[in-house]
Amino acid sequence: MGKINILTIQLTKTPASPNNFLDSLKTITELANAEFREQKKELVLSIDEKYIDDEAETIQQVISKLRADGGEIESTKQSFPVMNMTCAACASSSKNVLSFVPGILNVAVNYANGKAEIEYLPTLSNPKQMKSALQEVGYDLLIEEKESSRKNLEQLQQERYKKLKRDTWSAIILATPLMIIGMIFMNMPYADYIMWALATPILFIFGRRFFVGAWKQAKHFSANMDTLVALSTGIAYLFSVFNIFFPQFWESKGLEAHVYFEASGVIIAFILIGKMLEERAKGNTSSAIKKLMGLQPDTVTVFKNDIPTEVSISEVQVDDIILVKPGDRIAVDGIVTEGSSFIDESMISGEPIAVEKVIDAKVFAGTINQKGSFRFKANKVGKDTLLAHIIKTVEQAQGSKAPVQDLVDKIAGIFVPAVMGIAILSFILWMILGGDNNFVHGLLAMVTVLVIACPCALGLATPTAIMVGIGKGAEEGILIKDAESLELGRKVDIVVLDKTGTLTEGKPEVSSVLWNKDITQEQKNILYSIEAQSEHPLADAITAKLKDETQLLGAVKVHQVSGKGIDGDYNEKHYFVGNPQYIRSKNIHISSDLNNQINQELEAAYTVTVFADSENTLGVISIADKLKPTTKEAINKLKEMKIDTAIFTGDNPMVAKALANELGISNYKGNVLPEEKAALVKELQQQGKVVAMVGDGINDSAALAQADVSIAMGKGSDIAMEVAKMTIISSDLLKIPQAIRLSARTVTTIKQNLFWAFIYNVIGIPIAAGILYPFNGFLLNPMIAGAAMALSSVSVVTNSLRLRGKKLGVNSKQ
Q: Which residues are catalytic?
A: 498
Sheet holding 557-561, edge to edge: 509-515, 617-624, 607-613, 573-578, 565-570, 557-561
Task: Give, as one character, the DSSP assignment of residue 698.
Answer: G
Which residues, in sequence order, are bridge partners of residue 81? 115
Phi, psi of 497 (to 5 degrees): -120, 135
Distances (CA, A) of 530 to 553, 558, 564, 572, 577: 9, 6, 14, 15, 8
DSSP per-residue letters across 358-421: -TT-EE-TT-EE-S--EEEEEEE-GGGSHHHHHHHHHHHHHHS--HHHHHHHHHHHHHHHHHHH
Distances (CA, A) of 683 to 54, 235, 419, 706: 36, 63, 48, 10
> Residue 566 in contact with residue 534, Cβ under 8 Å?
yes
Q: What is the C-alpha separation between 261 and 765, in angstroms, rounded?
A: 22
Helices (H) and strands (E) in the chain, counts: 31, 26
Q: CA 13, 17, 19 angle in degrees (round to 5)?
A: 60
What percentage of the chain's residues is helix, strand, coil (to nearest 5)?
Answer: 55, 15, 30
Contacts of 19 (CB under 8 A, 6+ apart): 56, 58, 59
3-state secondary structure of 625: coil
3-state secondary structure of 594: helix
Q: Provide the 10 A C-beta neighbour count for residue 362.
A: 15
**204 Cα distance to chain centroid:** 39
> Residue 80 in contact with residue 113, Cβ under 8 Å?
no
> Residue 690 in contact with residue 732, Cβ under 8 Å?
no
Please name the helix (run of DSSP H) or strand (run of DSSP E) that holds residue 775, with its range, or none.
helix 773-776
Say which amino acid occupies 564. K
> Residue 457 in contact with residue 793, Cβ under 8 Å?
yes
Q: What is the C-alpha separation between 462 and 449, in angstroms, rounded?
A: 24
- Please compute Rg for the chain using Cα positions: 33
SS (H, E, C) 44-111: HHHHHHHHCCCCCCCHHHHHHHHHHCCCECCCEEEEEEEECCCCHHHHHHHHHHHHCCCCEEEEEEEC
Contacts of 52 (CB under 8 A, 6+ apart): 21, 22, 25, 62
3-state secondary structure of 791: helix
Which residues, in sequence order, are bridge partners of residue 608? 622
Q: What is the C-alpha separation between 142 and 145, in angstroms, rounded?
A: 9
